Structure 1
Amino acid sequence: MTHILKPKFRHPNLPKNGVGLTRRDYEGVVSTLCAGCGHDSVTAAIIEACFEMELPAHRVAKMSGIGCSSKTTNYFLNRSHGFNSVHGRMPSVTTGANLANRGLVYLGVSGDGDTASIGLGQFAHAVRRRLNMLYICENNGTYGLTKGQFSATNDRASKNRKGLDSPFDSIDLCNVAIELGAGFVARAFSGDKAQLVPLIIAGLKYRGFALIDVISPCVTFNNHTSSTKSYDYVRDHNHMVGRLDLVPEAREITAESAPGVTQNVTMHDGSQMALSAVSEDYDPTDPETAMPELARFKRQGRVATGLLYLDERQEDLHDLIGTAPGPLNEVPAEELCPGSDALEAINAAHR
């Protein structure tokens, strides 16, 4: 694979964040995706979110699998740790990395095929284990690398570009994630940066499993008038259940707000998340409200976007199984090798 590097020279007066980095410092190589691909908009939102969060790039581990979506990790955070796994196996690789070093920020980027087809089992177990990561699924309802077959998230009412029907019902990743215990579940549209950037920031700050299902149209294979994942369809059928505004302790990040009820939620780092809901009946903290509402939107052919569900308990895999308080490479030798008496006690407990 040929990578096109971006020039290293840049304007000396580019704005810098609190750690002295410019937006260019959060970029990667030049994208080789189709011009107009929604995935590139997601990349731009990730770069903006990390810049605003003032994340040191070396503290981020970006993980991916196989597919057009999984290529995008090459286009941002060029100075971060990264691992491109095999098809559908990104969650298990991320689990191992997270257990070994809990001090990193884990950002996984996957696609609808990588997540809802070959990787569905891995996705499900990462959710139920409350793996501390932000999982972004760039969802276009099609297999772009293999020329446009339906994916498992393609709606039954959505035809392919040749006019053929999908014979199966779609898998709704947000409903699946809520059912399995994800603590932060959101859906966004790649073309709405004002909505997507605050969601990414909030998802990265959440301790536990956070999912953002991003409708990201494939301009080559699934952007025709009969597709429910096209730019025009999502713009015409988008029902925003909430507009998010995240206020960190350091400074405010603004976003457009929708009219309605506002709920202030405190994140585990002390920052405030203000959620403005367009419907007083929708409670994003109640799964028994969220799941039927999402099903109703789907039946009506509408695309629900925004923060769909939030569990304020914020527990992760380390909390559940009681792991070491720091990265394993910082555990001293005497703790790693406690001696034969400790080993004998462990063996005796299993006899």
Structure 2
Amino acid sequence: MTYLRPLFRHPRLPRNTIGYTKKEYEGALSTLCAGCGHDSISAAIVQACFELSIEPHKVAKLSGIGCSSKTPTYFLGNSHGFNSVHGRMPSVATGASLANRDLVYFGVSGDGDTASIGMGQFVHVIRRNLNMVYIVMNNGCYGLTKGQDSATADAGSVGKAGTPNPFEAIDLASLAIELGASFVAQSFSGDKQQLIPLIKAAIRHPGMAFINVVSPCVTFNNNKGSTKSYDYVREHLEATGTVDFVPEKGEIRVAYEKGTDALISMHDGSSLLLHKLAQEWDPNNRISAAGALQQARVRGEILTGLLYLNPLSQDLHATLHTSATPLNRLSEKELCPGSAVLEEVNAGFR
């Protein structure tokens, strides 16, 4: 058995605006279990980057430990990557971003990597509003260590071992809104029509873009009684609305059902066009978004789609007034301006 992709591709594959085919955005063949929802998320990332015509070498992928944190190997093989220690991906992402703001940063994590050992890092990277796409592949269990319940497993849900979970779940989307994330979305790995435009919008957002993706574990958490199984999620999904990403100068063709539409403007001139299904919800209002999540939870439903977006977001670079030039491009003169400049700085603190 081989884990290398064949080199041959059809010579007439579609190309994006910079002349690349999807081959340039692929990675190694996945070694995850057949049917794993994480592979669907990887495919959505590939499609989003292809459609946005992002140069692969301008992407940095960072992850921690877990099945989810293996996935950067399986997409964007020509991009930068760093697999950190358990729960510490946000620290590495922060350092990399502050050193070079010119890259698109993907932080890939899991419910254990984020909601347990990495919770402290998750909290602070959100409150600092680091400019990155933070994706949690949430399956409610520890797949690498035989399926124990994670901190996001719903109370009463039954894992493969047959024992109901006695503890309340950590709701990462609600927590992200509470902590001040400027872009919060929730989706399902089996819904690429919703997930791809959400990822595209998250990439364009200037600040922390958090996406919690329910991604069933086919080996340990896809049984009857699990609230993270494919059957349960499909039966209990409630979407905020139909989501379409509109590029700054692109054309959009959409067929809508009856309802109301909301055009959410992004900072770069692109937009998210929402066909609203949840009527008592305003995506630009934190209180409204948090309330919609809690109401869905009371009804036993999983609310997906764009939940909250702050169009006036100010990211960490703007807050700290960091260098617009990547640190590795600064000259010795810029890095060491001399004793006179140092004396002037010191004088400002006297």
Q: Aligned partners of 1:293 and 1:10: how far apart in 2?
A: 45
Please tell me the residue identity of whatever aligns with 2:303: A
1:34 and 2:24 matched: no
Q: Aligned partners of 2:226 and 2:61: how far apart in 1?
A: 30
**Matches of residues 129-140 of structure 1 in structure 2 within 5 Å?**
129-140=128-139
C-alpha change, 1:228 and 1:259, in structure 2 (3 Å) is: farther
TM superposition shift of 1:279: 2.4
Q: Aligned partners of 1:167 and 1:132: how far apart in 2?
A: 36
Q: Aligned partners of 1:254 and 1:315: how far apart in 2?
A: 31
**Matches of residues 155-234 of structure 1 in structure 2 within 5 Å?**
155-234=154-233
SS across alignment from 1:42: helix
C-alpha change, 1:180 and 1:257, in structure 2 (3 Å) is: farther
Give the structure 2 partner of residue 119 of structure 1: 118
TM superposition shift of 1:41: 0.5
TM superposition shift of 1:251: 2.4
The Cα offsets for residues 151-201 of structure 1, whole Å up to 9 and x where unpaired, read as: 011110211112212121111111111111101100000000100000000
SS across alignment from 1:218: coil
Alignment check: 8 A CA contact 2:36 2:217 kept: yes
Q: Aligned partners of 1:108 and 1:273: how far apart in 2?
A: 22
Give the structure 1 partner of residue 294 of structure 2: 295
Equivalent residue pairs, number: 350
1:93 and 2:92 matched: yes
Alignment check: 8 A CA contact 2:280 2:292 kept: no
Q: Among the aligned pairs, what percent are the same residue?
A: 57
SS across alignment from 1:313: coil
Give the structure 1 partner of residue 46 of structure 2: 47
1:144 and 2:149 matched: no
Alignment check: 8 A CA contact 2:38 2:215 kept: yes
Give the structure 2 partner of residue 74 of structure 1: 73
C-alpha change, 1:9 and 1:114, in structure 2 (3 Å) is: same
C-alpha change, 1:257 and 1:340, in structure 2 (3 Å) is: farther
C-alpha change, 1:190 and 1:256, in structure 2 (3 Å) is: farther
C-alpha change, 1:155 and 1:255, in structure 2 (3 Å) is: farther
SS across alignment from 1:66: coil
The Cα offsets for residues 201-242 of structure 1, whole Å up to 9 and x where unpaired, read as: 000110000011000000000001101111001100000012
1:56 and 2:16 matched: no
SS across alignment from 1:126: helix
TM superposition shift of 1:342: 2.4
* TM-score normalised by length of structure 1: 0.96
Kindly report the root-mean-square deviation, in angstroms, between the aligned alpha carbons of the 2 structures. Answer: 1.6
SS across alignment from 1:191: coil
Q: Aligned partners of 2:30 and 2:255: how far apart in 1?
A: 29
* TM-score normalised by length of structure 2: 0.96
The Cα offsets for residues 8-39 of structure 1, whole Å up to 9 and x where unpaired, read as: 12111111111111112111001000000000
TM superposition shift of 1:346: 3.6
C-alpha change, 1:282 and 1:75, in structure 2 (3 Å) is: same
- Structure 2 segments unaligned to the other structure (5+ residues): none
Alignment check: 8 A CA contact 2:61 2:82 kept: yes
C-alpha change, 1:108 and 1:224, in structure 2 (3 Å) is: same
The Cα offsets for residues 103-130 of structure 1, whole Å up to 9 and x where unpaired, read as: 0000111100001100011011110000
Q: Aligned partners of 1:254 and 1:56: how far apart in 2?
A: 26
